[in-house]
Amino acid sequence: MLVIMKNDATEEQVQAVIREIENMGYRGIPMPGAQRTAVCIIGNQGPVDDSRLVVMEGVKETVRVTKPYKLVSRETHPQPTVISVSDIKIGGGKTVVMAGPCAVESEEQALTIAHLVKKYGAQVFRGGAFKPRTSPYSFQGLGEEGLKILDRVRRETGLLIVTEATDHINIELVEQYADIIQIGARNMQNYSLLRRAGHATKPILLKRSFAATIEELLMSAEYITSEGNNQVILCERGIRTFSDNTRNTLDLSAIPSIKEVSHLPIIVDPSHAAGRREYVIPLSKGAIAVGADGLLVEVHHDPSHALSDGMQSLYPKQFEKLMREIESLRR
């Protein structure tokens, strides 16, 4: 860590900073520059807590040389994490495809779509039972009834199930029924939920908030792993920008960025990023080409009657085309 002094900091202030660093058990080395002095901290074996330093007289700011996350860092764990769920492996070069409707609406709807996506090659079925919705007046999901339908989907089709938990109460239920527990973008910094997920016995699919930096996403993953659950799959789903041609701007550069600093697998959700089905196939191909470990895609057999997000759901034929094109890309 580097402590940058203000340009009018006095020699006494610099010395006080050095003494405080020594009190913390490290060494402080002054580094006088043309316009101001900086003090380098050396001798630390892990992250330095700068709260005592940033508030001292004469200090302008501190600059971290190392990252605040640890367990999810590639420096701690150089090999990529591969998560095994039943006979599926996520991470490490395979491409997993999770597909299904935004929300579970009925047993008939779920089974119809599940059979379709299974036929075209999906390995995991997605579908929400607890739906976080911007408006209190929108459909909020079937709750436990929806989870039971998902259970039947697994038994009938053999597909694994990923579904969302939205608070640290309903995660109990979700944990019983799902193979992978999803934490949605709006809950990426819901720390009660993250901590509870850290005690879950199932892998967690953690979606990047549309307002989170890569570092914040990894800090949220660190919340989960620091409680003991190191089975975390990250998911890029678009960030909020000024650009208005899509609902959010899919940040595909997040894939190589995350792979550089973390060992966790990362998949891409092109449906929520785009907000329109027309862009889902090209963005899916882009995601795979850039190195993503898989896709989370919305598919509906009858999008015009979907209770949520119909505009971004692929038609079954489009999903078939997507799977074919992904397959030829992967070869």
* Residues 283-312, interacting with a second copy (CB under 8 A): 283, 285-291, 303-308, 310-311
Sites for a second copy among residues 85-144 (CB under 8 A): 132-137
Tell me the one-letter amino acid at 27. Answer: R
- What single-letter amino acid sits at 322? L
Q: Which is nearer to a second copy, 205 or 273 (CB)?
A: 273
Q: What string of DSSP letters covers 106-126?
A: -HHHHHHHHHHHHHTT-SEEE
How many chain residues are in contact with a second copy, going by CB under 8 A?
100
Q: Pairing between strand 160-164 and 180-183?
A: parallel
Q: Establish how many alpha carbons lie within 13 A of residue 272's alpha carbon, considering only the half-sphere containing its beta carbon.
A: 23
| CA-based torsion, 190, 214, 235, 282: positive or negative | positive
Q: How far is the CB of 120 from a second copy (least distance, A)?
A: 19
For a second copy, which is the closer residue by CB, 160 or 193?
193
Q: Tokens for 159?
A: 């597909």
Work out whether 19 is an interface residue with a second copy (CB under 8 A).
Answer: no
Binding of residue 31 to a second copy (CB under 8 A): yes
Nearest CB to a second copy, comparing residues 167 and 320:
167
Binding flag, residue 25, a second copy (CB under 8 A): no
Instruction: Return the number of the residue (31 or 173) whose C-beta is nearest a second copy.
Output: 31
Nearer to a second copy, 148 or 257 (CB): 257
Choose one: 60-68, 110-118, 120-128, 146-154; the region binding a second copy (CB under 8 A). Answer: 60-68
Of 218-247, binders to a second copy (CB under 8 A) are 219, 222-223, 226-227, 239-246
SS3 content of the chain, % helix, strand, coil (to 5): 35, 20, 40
Distance CA 156, CA 269 (A): 26
Q: Which is nearer to a second copy, 107 or 249 (CB)?
A: 249
> Distance between CA atoms of 170 and 174, rounded to whole angstroms?
6
Nearer to a second copy, 278 or 327 (CB): 278
Find the shortest distance in angstroms from Cβ 18 to a second copy. 14
H or E element in which residue 191 lies? helix 191-197
Distance in Å, CB of 155 to a second copy, minimum: 29
Measured torsion, CA atoms of residues 162, 81, 273, 207, in degrees rounded to the nearest 10: 60
In the complex, the smallest distance separating the C-beta of residue 166 from a second copy, rounded to whole angstroms, is 6
Site for a second copy in 143-202 (CB under 8 A): 166-170, 186-187, 189-193, 195
Q: Yes or no: say if 293 and 267 are a contact pair by the CB < 8 Å rule.
A: yes
Question: What six digits make up the tokens of 13?
Answer: 């202030």
